[in-house]
Amino acid sequence: MTEKTSEVRCGELSFPVRSAGPYGGEPVIFLHGFPQTSAMWSPYLARLSAAGFLAIAPDQRGYAATARPIAVDQYAIDLLVADVLGIADGLGVNRFHLVGHDWGGVVGWALASAHPDRLRSLTSVSTPHPRAFASSLWRSSQLARSWYLGFFQVPKVSERLLTTRNGALLRRVLRDSGLPDTEADSYADTMLQPGAMTAAINYYRALRPARTFAVGRITVPTLYVWSTNDIALGRVAARATGDEVDAAYRFEVLDGASHWIPETRVEELTALVLDHVRTHAASSRR
């Protein structure tokens, strides 16, 4: 089915939202990460809509000029979760499946913990449960992998370095980490928009370990997809994630895949997501 674009207003912010699928189809909301946009999910919207689902992918807070507050505290995890619920409400969606990659996964874990009544299932791609991530910092290579968290805390410096010379450093980092050239250039071009890079980095600056790492246990059916060549997120946290889920849990490892699973393993990830949402769809329990 043809992909549509609309605007959903939540308070003072207006979120661009891509969608595809039949009216009344069971909703699946896709959340992108850093420094991606909702465009990354277009192949998935097409495939899930063809399977009868209503597939939805918003640009998250900071990634669209119409939803880009300035203050760092406006990117706290509670507000990111509230955005997703507000977008769902604006579209008339009550319960939905949630699929998140990278920061979209962080938001997904937090939403599933705080509002399990709104979800039919959760799929996190690449991102482990926050408590599993925190526990791995001191007993694996995860702390070294997460060096960029400190780099992003320096006001103005990190975004200046990443955007100077038409975003040359950002483009190189994305390509070197396994992202194809086309997507690397597209994401970098978006980050060159006024205020976009600062907004994206504010996700990291607003991160409060006491709140984010305190995300509770998960009580909704969960699929976690991790890849062996992820330079940012290691095996120890990935393996420990299942210990935080008190519901049906499936852990899938994609050998040889980079951090950029949605862009580079479309067919494999589509099959996994479709199987998961079909298994836990409302119709499967009638």
pLDDT in tens, 208-225: 877 777 899 999 999 999
d(CA 134, CA 271): 30
Domains by residue range for the chain, with CATH = 4-142+208-285 (3.40.50.1820)
- For the chain, report the end-to-end CA distance as a whole number of angstroms: 27
Which pLDDT score is estimated for 286?
40
Confidence band for 234, pLDDT divided at 50, 70 and 90? very high
Average pLDDT over residues 83-99: 97
* Helix or strand run (H / E) with residue 30: strand 27-31
Residue 14 pLDDT more than 60? yes
Residue 272 pLDDT more than 90? yes
CA distances from 44 to 29, 78, 269 (A): 11, 27, 9
**Share above pLDDT 70 across residues of the chain, in percent, rounded to a whole number:** 98
Residue 285 pLDDT more than 60? no
Burial 78-88 (b: 16+ CB within 10 A, else e): ebbbbbbbbbb
d(CA 205, CA 154): 9
pLDDT in tens, 25-64: 999 999 999 999 999 999 999 999 999 999 999 999 999 9
Residue 159 pLDDT more than 80? yes
Task: Provide the whole-model pTM.
Answer: 0.96
Quick count: other Cβ atoms within 10 Å of Cβ 208?
12
- The answer to whether residues 35 and 65 touch, using CB atoms and an 8 Å cutoff, is no
